[in-house]
Amino acid sequence: MREFTFRVWDKKNSRFLEHWDGNISFDLWRWTQLMSTCLTFPINDYIIQQFTGLIDSYGVDIYEGDVVEWKSFEGTLHCEPVTFDNGLFWVDLPLYEVNEVCKVRGNIFNANIK
């Protein structure tokens, strides 16, 4: 069974939850159970982000909401947040097309991304 990995952003405290340090994995059944019956925290206070299954050129895991930087073949520098739409993780193009040449610069919660 495929495992899904998530991290959780705590809106009130402006930080990722430590006990969800990005290494907690849920198989699909447990995730369904958590979302349908075992959810004990107010969901509006948190943002759950999924691991894309991809790593950047430095071996860093890429999550939904990460901001990645890469240069196009023309030499143009891009810096975009990772989003999920239509079954794919995206930047300006499908993430899998640039993950081997990109670098995770931070995430959408960082104020210092340039």
Among 73, 64, 60, smallest CA distance to 5 is for 64
In this prediction the pTM is 0.76
Distances in Å between the Cα of 76 and the Cα atoms of 36, 57, 72, 107 are 44, 18, 5, 21
**Per-residue confidence band for 100, with pLDDT thresholds at 50, 70 and 90:** very high
pLDDT one-digit tens code per residue, 41-88: 566 788 888 999 999 999 999 999 999 999 988 999 999 999 999 999
Domain ranges of the chain: 3-107
